[in-house]
A and B are shown apart, each in its own frame.
Chain A
Amino acid sequence: MKVQFIYPAFDRHAQSHPELREFVPCNEYIGPPSLGIASVAAATPPGIEVAFVDDRIHPVTERLPEADLYALSFFTPAATRALEIGDFLRAQGKPVVMGGIFPTMMPGECEGHCDALVQGEGEPVWPELLADFAAHRLKKRYRAAAPADLETLSPPRVDLYLDAESEDFAPDDYPLQTSRGCPFACDCCVLPDVMGKKIRHFPESTVEQTLLAFAARGKLCSLTEDTSFMFVSGARRRFRALLRALAERYLQQGARLSYIGCSMPLLLNVEPEVLSEVRRAGIDRFYLVCGFDPITREAFGRGDAAAMAKADECIRRCFDVGVEPYISLLAGNDSDDRGVFDRILEFCERTRIQTAEFVVATPYPGTPMWRKLVTENRILDRTWKRYNDANVVFRPAQMSPEELQEGYLRMWREFYRSRKHLAQADRGRRTIQF
């Protein structure tokens, strides 16, 4: 049996708004696929062949690889394309399985486009699904009774991604996953619903094997887990152990992190020694997300002076320790008035941030924000490919949808107007995902 995994295409900022290419003097970085497919592929029983295709690079509707079963994993921005691929495959009599964040949260949207769908984590049910398929008794839905035991999972099949690279597509970095789950319920995040509220950690050996597998092919890893900075389930301690292992062992073996991503205010109080450990681990960039937490919402949304001072302090701490902040700035929260765009731009100038991305608040299905806006009848657009941080799909509370859309574009335009010099910077500094 051969299973063909497909990572469906989705639009990035510059594909939704091609004019951004005029404003932004940076290289467009087509990021790596998420780890979902590599992780599920690793749970495939022996004797079953697996293959991977990235639909962003090789559209499967143009050249379809032969297989017995097609497995699509996707999040909301890729849902429109995924459902289209599902229809395309089924019209040819090809069996289709769907999984990932979108099928988990919106199974009803997917059911008519696939033969079976997986809700929640895929690894625990994947062997059963394949056995059912082989026995011609595929069920409509699969959902694990409990979250995956990360101690027993095989390391992700990152070789599938690395072998799929080409001259057209060779990301510098790939995501590293050290844990799953989060006990908090942030209104824009779907993670606790998909992965559970209890933080589970991957064993050190799995993290090490993944890091070194990427390093062996000259790739960096990115780590974006807010929980790294939190006390819960010993997450902070494990994060620091990873930083020390990077400094003491992995760097010598060629393994490096391209950046650490987190919600920006988490840096505000973190003890200085942790930031020094980040630097010693060879990490020179933070990817800092704003607009999901109370501090940056108060600062940018309402112009609260005390909150703004805290936002400034986060940036100062990054520069002090020698780690460049790359900031993701969001507008469109219910607490954002029309001044949010100017406040964000003034913040960027004042703190001398060199690279940033700008984002429209997006109610991803399954999040508390989605449920609230559905209840309030404020969802304007259910075209899933427009749920990509670049389009207004709901009615904002304090401005019109048009004002929010124009404000988003203005932030990109005005921020990069004074940063044309980035076009001459070295590749690492001038490359951003947009």
Chain B
Amino acid sequence: MASVSAEQIRKDLLEILSQLAGVEPSRIQDSDRLREDLGLDSLQSMELLSRVSDRYELDLEVEDVMDVQTVGDVVRELHQFMTQGSGR
């Protein structure tokens, strides 16, 4: 598992999000909700997590990301997972 800063995670996440949601990275905020604000459906959210997990070699479980709703939630969960492992 790679050790990556929260800032790098955010940068990578915005790049993937912009591809999936068709939104410029500069227009995406940490407070944006994946579904309601960015329009991601469940398959797109899964694809987002698949690309991130692939990039950072993470073995995330469904429970690890069950509660994420916003871009900031994803950054925090991923950073915590990479620094502390699954908290569940």
Contact = CB atoms under 8 A, between A and B. Distances in A.
Given A232-B60, A232-B61, A269 B49 contact: no
B54 A233 contact: no
Contacts, number: 47
A231 B60 contact: yes
Query: Taking each of B44, B46, B50, B59, which has the highest tally of chain A beta carbons within 10 Å of its own beta carbon?
Result: B50
A381 to B, nearest CB: 34
B11 interface: no
Contact of B49 (A183, A231, A294): A231
Interface string A396-418: 00000000000000000000000
B12 interface: no
B57 to A, nearest CB: 6
Which DSSP category, helix, strand, loop or mixed, fits chain B's interface?
helix
A34 B37 CA distance: 45
Contact of A269 (B47, B52, B59): B47
B60 to A, nearest CB: 6
A269 B44 CA distance: 6
B59 A234 contact: yes
Nearest to A266: B43
Looking at A237, A266, A294, the one whose CB has the most chain B CB atoms below 10 A away is: A237
A126 B60 CA distance: 32
Interface string B43-68: 11011011111100111111000000
Contacts of A234: 53, 57-60
Interface residues of B, number: 19
Interface string A229-246: 111111011001000000
B20 interface: yes
Interface of A is mostly: helix
> Which one of B19, B20, B44, B53 has the highest number of Cβ atoms from chain A below 10 Å of its Cβ?
B53
24 contacts: A183-B61, A183-B62, A184-B62, A229-B50, A231-B46, A231-B49, A231-B52, A231-B53, A231-B54, A231-B60, A232-B60, A233-B59, A233-B61, A234-B53, A236-B53, A237-B53, A266-B43, A269-B20, A269-B44, A269-B47, A270-B50, A271-B19, A294-B42, A295-B43
Given A183-B61, A232-B60, A269-B44, 14 more contacts: A183-B62, A231-B50, A233-B59, A234-B57, A234-B60, A237-B53, A237-B54, A268-B43, A270-B47, A270-B50, A271-B19, A271-B47, A271-B51, A294-B42
The 9 closest A-B pairs by CB, nearest first: A231-B50, A269-B47, A234-B59, A231-B49, A231-B53, A236-B50, A183-B62, A237-B54, A269-B44
